[in-house]
Structure formats: structure tokens, C-alpha cells
Amino acid sequence: MTALAQNNSVRQRIAIGIVFIGMLTSCSMPTTVVFGNASKAEIILAYKDDTHKVVELRLAKGAQAEVKHLLDVHFSIKTMKSTQNYERASVPESYIQSVGFGPFMKRVVKAELENDGCVYIVKSDDDHSMEKSFQPPGFPLCPSASSE
């Protein structure tokens, strides 16, 4: 085998390895939750991040924020009156959108806290009222416990 043929063979192996690693890592891509506060009050969303550090995110009424892994872990929503605790939930693939391309792609699901204290997942930006009456199993996600 010539040196040129060996170089091409090595390059092909490296390219195949990179593609394979990309496929493996894309399977474990975290889901980003675009969490909206559709309630009547400001809230504090408390959850543990990737390093298990407790993060408290303040959301004004009508505001939204992107949070990784939110529905994969236990989380709390604090208001001036109480703290509501929520269990983890499985979101059906049909509610998860792929946004971006290649290494910039992310999995996104939209969720909203409503006045009833429950978290609803939303498939699109169009008509939330229609979607909220048709939630998948496990949703709406209502508080599991409350502390005053």
C-alpha cells in the first residue's frame, strides 16, 4: 500500500469515527424547556442544573426562559404565598421540536405555568387554549406538594 493510500484510509477511519461519535452524542441530547409564566404573578422557578447546583430563576408575569432538563428533574415554583413542588415528567416526542442544525441543534419543548398552578406543554405558538384541553398522559403537570 502506498503512503497516499494509507493517508486516505486513516482519514476515512477518522471521518467515520467522528460521525459515529456525533451519532452517539446526539442520542443523549438534553431537552431544553421554553418555560413561560402565564400565571397572574411573578414566580421563582427553582431546579437543579447539570452540576446539581440549585438555580432560582425569577420570571415576571408573561415572561419566559429556556431551561435545560427542567421536566427531567423535580422542581419547585415559588410565589409570594407558597412553594409548589413538581415531579419529573416524560414528554412525548411529538411535543419536542428540533431547532437548529448539526452541532447547533437542540431539542425544545414549550411549557407554561397557568393560573391553576399546573404546567401545560404546548405544541405550537398558534392556539394555546385548544392545546391545553388536549394534554398527553402525565399532563398537565400539577403540584405534588405545597408548602405555605
pLDDT at residue 35, as a whole number: 94
Residue with more model confidence, 123 or 106 = 106
Whole-number mean pLDDT of the chain?
Answer: 81
Is 120 inside a domain boundary? yes
Is 118 inside a domain boundary? yes
- CATH code at position 94: 2.60.40
Total domain count for the chain?
1
Q: Which residues of 97-115 are buried (b: 16+ CB within 10 A; e: fewer)?
A: eeeeeeeeeebbbbbbbbe
pLDDT at residue 83, as a whole number: 94
Domain of 36, in residue numbers = 30-147
Question: Per-residue pLDDT tens for 64-120?
Answer: 999 987 887 889 999 988 999 999 888 888 888 888 887 788 889 999 999 999 999
pLDDT score of 49 more than 80:
yes
State percent of the chain over pLDDT 90: 40
* Closest by Cα among 134, 84, 104, 85 to 32: 104
Is 5 inside a domain boundary? no
Q: Do 77 and 49 meet the contact criterion of CB atoms below 8 Å apart? A: no
Residue with more model confidence, 26 or 2 = 2
* Closest by Cα among 73, 69, 81, 85 to 118: 85
Is 3 inside a domain boundary? no
